[in-house]
Amino acid sequence: MTVTWILINVAIMLLLIFGLYKMQKKHVSFSKRVFTALGLGIVFGLVLQLIYGATSEVITGSIDWFNIVGSGYVKLLQMVVMPLVFISIVAAFTKLKLSKNIGKISGLIIAILVGTTAVSAVVAIGTTLVFDLEAVQIQAGDAETARGEDLEVRQGEVESLTLPQQLLSLLPANPFLDFTGARPTSTIAIVIFAAFIGVAYLGVKRKEPEIAESFAKLIDTLNTITMRIVTLILRLTPYGVLAIMTKVTATSNYEAIAKLGKFVIASYVALGIMFLIHLLLLSFAGLNPITYVKKVLPVLTFAFTSRTSAGTLPLNVKTQTEELGVPSGIANFAGSFGLTIGQNGCAGVYPAMLAIMIAPTVGINPLDPAFLFTVILVVAISSFGVAGVGGGATFAAILVLSALDLPVALAGLLISVEPLIDMGRTALNVSGSMTAGVLTSKATGELDTTVYVEPKSTVGA
């Protein structure tokens, strides 16, 4: 009987996918298809859990089949991340778009990412104090205790890395290894490797222009093909969002979420305030924040459902270039750096909230100005090298709590609501990297404002 119900659920999923396909054939906009998929996924997932229960064999079996669409889509995006980053940055050099101000561009992007992460910490501290959140308010069950023990084990591994060692890990000792994405910092390493090749190309162009021209044509061809692959994959976004959101809502522990509702609400208030700060920064730069919101919503929706900044990178870069008017070189630098440096949600809001919540358990006054300043500083510095995948926030939290001599095991108390909060954190991370790309382009005078104000959506069409 279980197999029968699983087949029925899979059949319903296929019907929903067919409905989205018919919308595409009728030329319904990409944004509308993504949000339709989001809504259908939420409803379908809730109905499945209501009928079968979150831990039933039917749900487990059904999700296994749904993952072919959801997880399969994420894997396709991850497949194209490294080629996209490498080819796009090298192409920016061959097209002379990064030759004069690469240092300024990199510096601005990193400054914006780290600066907004420090602001995120301030927002998180304020929100935690306003909501009066403390770790002692949360009850620990078996799952929370096990999670805390696991965090303590990971703490030992993380504490062995000094800040200079973390910075050193960004360099590509073996670029071929980094092309596989084997390390958390592989994307940044590929950015650096591509930049070296670009600089080398400029040197060859001065001395042997014919060889440089042949190389430029090869890169241009590869860039065109890579972007075509990205376009083909992004057309699958609505289907991926549908499957992923169905899984999330069908398997979530709503009882646990209700118990920790105060922390969940506080987290999303902090994330929302930080997103508004992104919009304010764009306004100060003379750009319409409403236009930004309309164009990036499909990207943030996918980041929200998938919980992976790395998987969102192709959609992130394509939206920056085709919707927001950011040059491809800057878009790739901002998107790539944003995967491991200055993540506003995972490396800013989350560890700062934990630090303020845990401080009273060891006799530290969370209102002490010296402690607050230390938290903000540590959060900003520790925001280097946080992996752009689900779980990066845990790594950031361990770094910050260890630096402040706070017990990391208490962070395990939030395991039951981690996925729900991580969805919002990931969306904020991606918004932060896109904001950095737009602001950097504006500051260097390279933002195509005509594209920015153009209302028509082209991404994923």
SS3 for 384?
strand
Q: How far does the chain reach from its first CA to its final CA, in angstroms? A: 41
- Hey, what amino acid is at 307? R
Please provide the size of the chain in residues. Answer: 461
Q: What pLDDT does 119 receive?
A: 96
Q: What pLDDT does 142 receive?
A: 47
Q: Dump the DSSP string for 101-164.
A: THHHHHHHHHHHHHHHHHHHHHHHHHHHHHTT--GGGSPP-HHHHHHHHHHHHHHHHHHT--HH
Which element (helix H / strand E) includes 260?
none
Cα–Cα distance between 70 and 311 in angstroms, integer? 12
Q: What pLDDT does 17 receive?
A: 95
Q: Which residues fall within 8 angstroms of residue 302, CB to CB, at 6 or more apart?
A: 34, 237, 240, 241, 312, 315
Cα–Cα distance between 37 and 68 in angstroms, integer? 16
Fold of 2-453: Proton glutamate symport protein (1.10.3860)
Write down the pTM of the prediction: 0.81
Q: What pLDDT does 151 receive?
A: 54
Q: What pLDDT does 457 receive?
A: 57
Cα–Cα distance between 94 and 268 in angstroms, integer? 43
Q: 418-443 and 289-306 are packed helices; what angle lies between their axes, rounded to 10 degrees?
A: 140
Q: Token match 């200079």: residue?
A: 164
> Which residue ranges in the chain fall short of pLDDT 70?
96-100, 136-163, 166-167, 184, 385-392, 409-416, 456-461
Q: What pLDDT does 422 receive?
A: 87
Residue 251, exposed/middle/buried by CB under 10 A (0-12, 13-18, 19+)? middle
For the chain, give every domain's residue range.
2-453
Q: What pLDDT does 144 receive?
A: 47
Find out whether 317 and 88 touch, Cβ atoms under 8 Å.
yes
Find out whether 34 and 298 touch, Cβ atoms under 8 Å.
yes
